[in-house]
Structure 1
Amino acid sequence: MTRVGFIGLGIMGGPMAGNLVKAGFDVIGYDYSPARTEALAAGGGRAAAGIVEAVQESDVVITMVPDSPDVEAVALGEGGILATARPGQLYIDMSSISPKTAQGVAEAAKPYGVRVLDAPVSGGEQGAIEGTLSIMVGGDAADFEAARPLLEVVGATIVHVGPHGSGQTVKAANQLIVAGTIELVAEAIVFLEAYGVDTEAAVRVLAGGLAGNRILDRKAAGMLAREFQPGFRIDLHHKDMGIVTSAAREAGVVIPLGAAVAQLIAALKAQGHGGLDHSALLKLVEQLSGRTSG
């Protein structure tokens, strides 16, 4: 499968599609933003006029769009992926959506003979640029093996985690951990600053001990500098925490800390900070501590 239709060329999808081009795949991309589609073409890919062309010109279709309704519109709508695809064609959704939506798309694809994988990613914009994303894949094992050559281009950790919807369930757990960790790092930074500690030195030593984590490695410098350019937007993490809390409730699982962080993210969004990186949780910790730096 050398021809790839890539739909959704934003902060994550753009560099992922670009890496596939660099690896020698024939990538035909489409995004609602013409500028993004043109950027892919300028980098050696091809520009599709719409979803139909991207699907018909490809062996495998990949989507990277913001939310469950977007996947449903692109995959299930009139002139969408399923209505356009050929029997046997592989469709990989790499968006972060509800597990129920992923299962529903896979079920809807059966009458069309389209093979579906849900393969959300973790690693943020930098991971997408570097091709080092962690990819959690739900679906049939044989389809996972067929997709592996493409996934290995955009990711470094690629794991089949179970049947349809499992990838999205694991991604929800990932977002729960990431949100909680960012919040704790934010609280630690404000705490350290309140005592006049050399915070850059403190972050270095914390990162080398048991408290070490990817958030300290990748986000702490921006948090110390109050630079919250996304990255991964608060708006999207707010959406993901809604998925987590809803799915946990359905399963009868109690997530008290996760629920609290979900409310903090919701508060940032309500204050108009939805376009900032999720590390902007630091702003709310400052505000609650009466130490707002602006």
Structure 2
Amino acid sequence: MPQEPVGVVGMGVMGSAMSTHLLAAGFPVLGFDIDPRRRAEHEARGGTVCDSAADVARGADVVVTSLPSAAALMDVLDGERGMQDSGRAGLVVVETSTLSARAKQDGHDRAQAWGAAVLDCPMSGTGQQARDGDLVAYLSGDEAAKKQAMPILQAFTRAQYDLGPFGQGTTMKLVANLLVAVHNAAAAEALLLAERAGLDLNLVLTAVGDGAGGSRMLAVRGPLMMAGQYAEATATVATMQKDNALIAELAASVASPTPLFSAAAMLYQAAVAQHRLHEDTACVFGVLQRLAGG
């Protein structure tokens, strides 16, 4: 039985991976991005290109958004030729970006005013994990909307966690990202120690990764650190800096101490100082190498 069309607005690293998996699962995908190159790539994958977010919403009951900023979300929702212009009451918007709780709530309230339901559903995983179908969805919001969105989420994520009321998805994502920031820095620190102690880093990745010291960040970013390959970023230092600010804001709002996170955050600040803003976050290994005189 043919699948109903799904919309995707924002066809960057994450959005393009999501649309690819949706197409593979048999969903017709209506896509829009402000970048003509990304629209062309979507069409080449077999998707249908729309001229605006409004056009996407006219053709799909569920629209997935993957956007770089709060301003982009508001523009897509009710800016010029935004989804509000579609006149589609009952539209479900699955908002997968990592934004502040305030921005998510603002988007929710704006959409609710014209009859759409926004779900707060950030993704846990890198761009490469998105391409591999290895994302985890942190879903929160209206119950009926969640039920409608679930088959779509299942097409491009490995697991889906229903976290209850709107906003809990973002809170869970920030907790997860705190661990990502710390584990990534810890992997870099451990690999530098191994390198300076004369160990074979290939063997370190295999042996340590197979033991109690293993982590997802060691497995995902360790090979990049070992090879010094940071240019083709699956998650940039710029993105990490944005997320780190949101984590610090959350921690301050609930008076929760974060000594390990605060120490790790200094490495990402150093990466910015070393002009690595657009490199993969694995580059903290290079930051430490330079600090060690390498």
User: Residue 59 of structure 1 corresponds to which residue in structure 2?
Assistant: 61
User: How many residue pairs align between the two structures?
Assistant: 291
> Which of the numbers 266, 271, 274 marks the counterpart of 2:274?
271
User: Which residue in the other structure is 1:134 paired with?
Assistant: 136
In the TM superposition, residue 109 of structure 1 has moved relative to its aligned partner by 2.0
Structure 1-normalised TM-score? 0.95
Runs of 4+ in structure 1 deviating by more than 4 angstroms, as ranges, are: none
Aligned counterparts of 2:96 and 2:45: Cα–Cα separation in 1? 21
Distance 1:77 1:162 in 2: 29
- Structure 1 partner of 2:255: 252
8 A contact 1:100–1:165 mirrored in 2: no
Q: With structure 2 as the length reference, what TM-score do the two structures score?
A: 0.95
1:271, distance to aligned residue in structure 2 (A) = 2.5
Distance 1:82 1:263, change over 3 A: farther
Aligned to 1:192: 194
- Contact 2:91/2:117 (8 A) holds in 1: yes
Of residues 20-29 and 254-263 in structure 1, the stretch that sits farther from structure 2 once superposed is 254-263
C-alpha distance 84-252 of structure 1, shift in aligned 2 (>3 A):
farther
Give per-residue Cα distances to partners, 1:194-240, cap 9 Å, x unaligned: 11111211221111111111112221111101011211111111100
Deviation of 1:123 (Å): 1.8
Structure 1 range deviating more: 168-177 or 253-262 = 253-262
1:290, 1:85 → 2: CA distance?
Answer: 60
Q: Which residue does 1:239 correspond to in 2? A: 242
Is 1:96 the counterpart of 2:98? The answer is yes
In 2: Cα distance, 1:287 partner to 1:70 partner: 36
Could you tell me which residue of structure 1 aligns to residue 83 of structure 2? 81
Give the C-alpha shift of residue 76 in structure 1.
3.5
Unaligned runs of 5+ residues in structure 1 are none
Match of 2:126 among 100, 124, 137: 124
| 1:95 maps to amino acid | S
Secondary structure in 1 aligned to 2:63? strand
* Distance of 1:193 and 1:125 partners within structure 2: 27
Is 1:287 matched up with 2:294? no
Cα distance change, pair 85–180 in 1 and its aligned pair in 2 (3 A): farther
| Aligned counterparts of 2:16 and 2:270: Cα–Cα separation in 1 | 30
Q: 1:13: which partner in 2?
A: 15
Indicate the RMSD between aligned Cα atoms, in angstroms: 1.4
**Percent of aligned positions that are identical:** 30
Worse-matched range after superposition: 211-220 or 174-183 = 211-220
User: Alignment partner of 2:161: what SS?
Assistant: strand
Name which of structure 1's ranges 11-20 and 253-262 shifts more when overlaid on structure 2: 253-262
Alpha-carbon spacing, 1:270–1:69, altered in 2? closer, same or farther (3 Å): farther
Q: Are the aligned partners of 2:11 and 2:66 in contact in 1 as well (CA < 8 Å)?
A: yes
Gapped regions of structure 2 (runs ≥ 5): none
Give the letter aligned to residue 187 of structure 1: E
Measure how far apart 1:262 and its partner are. 2.1
Contact 1:234–1:275 (8 Å) recurs in 2 = yes
Contact 1:6 1:29 in 2 (8 A): yes
| Whole-angstrom distance in 2 between the partners of 1:85 and 1:281 | 47
